[in-house]
Structure formats: structure tokens, C-alpha cells
């Protein structure tokens, strides 16, 4: 079973953070968890020259940390209204490192954050922060887009339709285990999905007929078998997962299926932080996080 006991919620005082906090509060109420609301104050800020070019780093103004703590506590008024216990933490430092350090210090079970900042360059920066946190966090990370299609009610768990794309890697198998556990906890429907990404160039008819068509048939058979084997008999009894096999560009198919099924949550693995993994992350997970109209829960392999 899923156990979320301490939830870290980075706050930048934007509407995006407010929306993410709404999700964190619903999860905290469901799992009887405590929230750590944190705000990171960078000591260096990027400034774009009026003449254009790349942003130049300059020292940030001296912050009033006491005032920021008061502001952060005021931001957490919804937690008080819902009787959700919380702590506030304001710290100096680069946002990604601050979030990861706080997650370690508080032994967070989950990080919940918005996918964009306030606007302009800040919007770009928070987007990159979210993506870096996804790759490096040891615990699961829930990203919440502004344009999410379903706003949770105060007394409900928000994940009733779950989509879990798998590529059979260790991280996606760990994501599948979490998705099935969440489905059991929330009595949710879950679809386990695999995308076959075919060649983009069409081969000559003779070659396609003799080689590629047979390759595709074999790949489909293998994928169906692996999908069936990935779901345990116990999981089949408590949440009746559906197996979905499609072909196409991976992130596009994930977003299409999530939209068609009006998924409340996409659960997927993140491959890590190496050069090749970052390239894969950029081509798949980032595109899903940026394009999704529902929350996306990501986790790395252990």
C-alpha cells in the first residue's frame, strides 16, 4: 500500500503553487500526512539585458526571511482551514538544490509542485526547476499543470482514472507498482500502456512486406506478453487493470490516451540523470509533463 506521511510542497506564491498546494492538501488529508511548505530564495538571480542575449547572473537583493516566513504561513491558510498539519521552511539557496536538500532532511515521501512559474523568465525557470527535480529526487514527484481538467473536491482523493505508461525498464516497473497501489487505495481504474515506436521512414514495399511487417508483428506479440506478465494476479483481482498497446510517437500517444480517457493521473518512471537518460527524459517525460492536462506522478528507479 502507498504511504505518504510527509509531503514537501515548494511554494513561489504564484497561482501555480496555489493549485499544486490544493492537490497536496487533498493527498495529505487522505493519507493523514504532514505538509512541509518551503520557499527557496536564490542568492543569485538571472537578469536579461535590454539589448538581448543570454541572462547574466547577479547577486539577489538581501531578503527579509522573517517576512517571507510570515507570507508563507499566510499562504498556508487553506491547510489550517482543512486541519492539515504543516511546517514552513524558508531558506537561501538555488531552488533545485534547496528542494532536494529539504526532501532529504524531512524524509519526504512525495514532492508536489507546479510546472510553471509566474511569467516571462520566471515561468521558464520554474519549469526547468521542476524538470531537474523530477530527474534527481529520490522520492516520487507530483507535478500539477495549471490547465488540469479536474479540480478536486475537499473530501475526495483525486485519482480515479490512472494511466501508467511502461517501457519495461526498472523505473517504469516501479512506477507500475505505485500506480497499481494507488488504484487499490482509491478504488480507481488503471490502464497500463505501452507504446511501440515504429520507423519514421517508410521502407520500399518489398522490404516492408518481407521484413518490417514481420518485425512489427513479433514486436506486438512480445509487448502484449510483457504487458500481461507485468501485472500480478493480485493486482488483477483488486483493480482490474486494462492493457493498452498502441503505436506512434511515445509522448504524443501518452497524451492522446490520457486525454481520451480523461485521466486524473499519469504515473511514469524517470530514467535518471546521465547524458543519455536526460536526452530520453527530454524527449518523453518532459513532453508529457509539459503537455498533460492532468497531474503527472514520476519516480526514478532505486
pLDDT in tens, 65-89: 999 999 999 999 999 999 999 999 9
Task: Quote the pLDDT of residue 155.
Answer: 53
CATH topology of domain 161-300: Rossmann fold (3.40.50)
At residue 20, what are phi and psi to the nearest 5 degrees? -65, -40
Question: What kind of fold does domain 6-144 have according to CATH?
Answer: Rossmann fold (3.40.50)
Highest mean pLDDT among 140-154, 166-180, 191-205: 166-180
Q: Are both 6-144 and 161-300 of the same fold?
A: yes
Cell numbers describing residue 180: 497499481
User: Which of 6-20, 151-165, 214-228 has the least mean pLDDT?
Assistant: 151-165
Would you kindly state where each structural domain of the chain is located, as residue ranges? 6-144, 161-300
Taking the model in full, what pTM does it have? 0.85
Backbone angles phi, psi at 103, to 5 degrees: -60, -40
Cell 527535480, residue? 133
The DSSP 8-state label assigned to residue 205 in this structure reads H
Using CA atoms, how far apart are residues 87 and 76, in angstroms rounded to an integer?
A: 9
Alpha-helix runs per DSSP H in 137-283:
170-186, 205-207, 213-230, 233-239, 250-260, 275-283
Q: Which of 185, 152, 147 is nearest to 267 (CA)?
A: 185
How high is the pLDDT of residue 266?
97
Q: What confidence tier does 290 reach under pLDDT thresholds 50, 70, 90?
A: confident
Residue 166 to residue 117: CA distance in whole angstroms: 29
Beta bridge partners of 39: 90
| Average pLDDT across the chain, whole number | 83
Asked if pLDDT for residue 294 goes beyond 80, the answer is yes
Residue 41 has pLDDT above 80, yes or no: yes
Instruction: Say what the pLDDT of residue 101 is.
Output: 97
Q: CB neighbours of 19 closer than 8 A, spacing ≥ 6?
A: 114, 144, 146, 148
Which conformational region is residue 257 in: left (phi greater than 0), alpha (psi within -120 to 50 degrees), or beta?
Answer: alpha
Residue 276's alpha-carbon distances to 194, 281, 289, in angstroms, are 21, 9, 19
Within 10 angstroms of residue 68's Cβ, the number of other Cβ atoms is 16
pLDDT in tens, 229-276: 999 888 888 888 999 999 999 999 999 999 999 999 999 998 754 444
Label residue 43 by pLDDT band (50, 70, 90).
Answer: confident
Check: CB of residue 13 under 8 Å from CB of residue 21.
no
**DSSP H/E element including 107:** none
CA dihedral 118, 133, 171, 22 (to 10 degrees): -50
Amino acid at each position: 500500500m502507498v504511504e505518504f506521511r510527509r509531503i514537501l510542497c515548494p511554494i513561489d506564491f504564484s497561482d501555480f503553487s496555489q493549485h499544486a498546494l490544493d492537490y497536496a492538501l487533498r493527498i495529505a488529508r487522505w493519507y493523514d500526512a504532514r505538509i512541509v511548505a518551503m520557499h527557496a530564495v536564490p542568492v543569485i538571480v538571472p537578469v536579461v539585458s535590454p539589448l538581448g542575449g543570454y541572462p547574466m547572473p547577479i547577486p539577489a537583493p538581501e531578503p527579509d526571511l522573517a517576512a517571507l516566513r510570515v507570507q508563507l504561513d499566510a499562504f498556508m491558510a487553506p491547510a489550517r482551514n482543512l486541519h492539515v498539519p504543516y511546517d514552513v521552511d524558508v531558506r537561501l539557496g538555488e531552488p533545485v538544490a534547496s528542494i532536494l536538500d529539504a526532501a532529504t532532511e524531512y524524509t519526504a515521501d512525495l514532492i508536489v509542485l507546479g510546472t510553471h512559474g509566474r511569467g516571462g523568465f520566471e515561468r521558464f525557470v520554474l519549469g526547468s526547476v521542476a524538470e531537474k527535480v523530477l530527474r534527481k529526487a529520490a522520492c516520487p514527484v507530483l507535478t500539477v499543470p495549471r490547465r488540469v481538467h479536474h479540480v478536486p473536491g475537499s473530501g475526495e482523493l483525486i485519482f480515479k482514472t490512472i494511466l501508467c505508461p511502461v517501457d519495461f525498464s526498472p523505473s517504469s516497473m516501479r512506477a507500475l507498482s505505485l500506480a497499481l497501489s494507488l488504484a487499490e487505495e482509491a478504488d480507481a481504474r488503471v490502464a497500463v500502456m505501452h507504446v511501440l515506436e515504429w520507423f519514421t521512414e517508410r521502407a520500399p514495399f518489398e522490404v516492408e512486406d518481407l521484413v518490417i511487417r514481420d518485425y512489427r508483428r513479433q514486436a506486438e506479440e512480445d509487448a502484449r506478453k510483457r504487458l500481461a506478465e507485468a501485472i500480478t494476479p493480485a493486482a488483477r483481482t483488486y483493480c482490474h487493470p486494462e492493457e493498452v498497446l498502441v503505436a506512434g510517437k511515445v509522448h504524443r500517444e501518452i497524451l492522446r490516451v490520457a486525454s481520451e480517457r480523461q485521466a486524473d493521473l499519469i504515473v511514469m518512471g524517470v530514467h535518471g540523470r546521465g547524458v543519455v537518460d536526460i536526452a530520453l527524459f527530454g524527449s518523453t517525460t518532459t513532453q508529457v509533463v509539459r503537455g498533460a492536462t492532468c497531474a503527472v506522478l514520476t519516480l526514478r528507479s532505486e
